[in-house]
Amino acid sequence: MIQTLRVDLGDRGYPIHIGSDLLTNAELYRAHIHGNQVLVVSNETVAPFYLDQVCAGLEGFRVATLILPDGEQFKNLEILNRVFTKLLEERFNRSCCLLALGGGVIGDLTGFAAACYQRGVDFVQVPTTLLAQVDSSVGGKTGVNHALGKNMIGAFHQPRCVVADTNTLDTLDDRQFSAGLAEVIKYGLIRQAPFFGWIEENIDHLLRRDSATLVEAIERSCRCKAELVAADERERGARALLNLGHTFGHAIETGTGYGTWLHGEAVAVGMVMAADLSARQGWLTAADVERIRRLLSRARLPVDPPDAITRDRFLDLMSVDKKADDQGLRLVLLDTIGSARICSDFDRQLLDQTLNLERRTSAL
């Protein structure tokens, strides 16, 4: 079973292949490697399961591998430099290709290394987490974190292709799997009410990791993202809708220390906070807020922010968000389930209420 869609970006366009048993179908990624040197970057958790399979598929190329420690706390400039060191030790040139085998951290960091090595070389994404398959491996956002802010250092650099093999999700722990579902649910919330309904109907199949249901969820998610990216590659407009829940979520991730909360967990809470503020603005109904909370809870995701982050700390962390500009903070908020908008004219007092109260009580 294989579904292929294309991110339509002219000469930077690329295919996304989604299905089961794709890692052994090496031609899918070999076709997009133009030089003869390949560096496979993976991490200590993923490599033991899949590295040999991928390397076997790369027979005929000069292959080097680099195994990094696993975790968001390693997505930084220091670890990035290890990729450069490896590339230089191996004497890899401008025609080389990097292959990211892992979750979002490996994908973002490897993609950013590809963006910067010799001012830009090719890379291929082989995402092995649900989160990476539906989100971070599509769209060309690459980068690393800074101690003072998440994803603050990076580049737009599109992969040559993405190969999302649902088999790799078999080895994912439940917490990571649920974190990926947060982003799947996000696509329903921002643009596709019918998809949101489909997820509600199919959440148990998804949690059982039924392959066909997963392929459909990933395909619909990637299609939504590919459309938004094709319309707005560098996020000057509609692409920012993809950040629903992310401004709140990044504040939670930074405020609790990278690696404490998973990205998808923080985004889940962030989406509830965005829904709460949308309801306080009078846009979303209380019933819809509850429907969102319920689906996220069924997906085994948190829905309340950590008590440790006060309102003032939230505002401080959110003020450096990339969605902030000279006109102030912009948030993605919801008119209804299936319709989001970018908004800077929300009521500051209502935001205060969302930041203060929600963790203690469902305010509505």
Of 296, 283, 282, 202, which Cα lies nearest the Cα of 249? 296
Per DSSP, the three-state class of 87 is helix
Using rule CB under 8 A, residue 94 touches a second copy: yes
Using rule CB under 8 A, residue 35 touches a second copy: yes
225 has catalytic annotation = yes
Cβ 344 to a second copy shortest distance, Å: 12
The interface region with a second copy, picked from 32-40, 44-52, 65-73, 277-285 by CB under 8 A, is 32-40
145 has catalytic annotation = no
Using rule CB under 8 A, residue 143 touches a second copy: yes
322 has catalytic annotation = no
Which H or E run contains 66? strand 62-68
**Two tokens, residue 224:** 């939504």
Using rule CB under 8 A, residue 11 touches a second copy: no
Out of 155, 315, 357, 364, point to the residue binding a second copy (CB under 8 A).
155
CA distance 229 to 96: 26
Q: Identify the residue whose tokens are 């295919």.
A: 15
Cβ 123 to a second copy shortest distance, Å: 15
The interface region with a second copy, picked from 67-75, 151-159, 217-225, 288-296 by CB under 8 A, is 151-159
Site for a second copy in 47-86 (CB under 8 A): 77, 80-81, 84-85
Cβ 77 to a second copy shortest distance, Å: 5
Out of 313, 322, 341, 342, point to the residue binding a second copy (CB under 8 A).
322
Of 9, 27, 23, 33, which Cα lies nearest the Cα of 123? 33
**Two tokens, residue 6:** 């294309």
The DSSP string of 204-268 is: HHHHTT-HHHHHHHHHHHHHHHHHHHHH-TT-SSGGGGGGTTHHHHHHHHHHH-BTTB-HHHHHH
Of 242, 205, 231, which Cα lies nearest the Cα of 342? 242
141 has catalytic annotation = yes
157 has catalytic annotation = no
**Two tokens, residue 99:** 């292959």
Give, as one character, the DSSP assignment of residue 111.
Answer: H
Q: Which of 191, 239, 280, 293 is catalytic?
A: 239
Residue type, 296: L
Size of the site for a second copy (CB under 8 A): 38
Cβ 321 to a second copy shortest distance, Å: 8
Of 220, 217, 226, which Cα lies nearest the Cα of 169? 217
Residues 56 and 202 sit within 8 Å (Cβ to Cβ) = no
Out of 115, 172, 295, 351, point to the residue binding a second copy (CB under 8 A).
115
Nearer to a second copy, 86 or 298 (CB): 86
Using rule CB under 8 A, residue 149 touches a second copy: yes
Nearer to a second copy, 80 or 268 (CB): 80
263 has catalytic annotation = yes
Residue type, 203: I
Active-site amino acid positions = 119, 141, 183, 225, 235, 239, 243, 246, 250, 263
Where on the chain is the footprint of a second copy (CB under 8 A)?
Answer: 35-37, 77, 80-81, 84-85, 88-89, 91, 93-95, 115-120, 141, 143, 146-149, 152-156, 234, 319-320, 322, 324-326
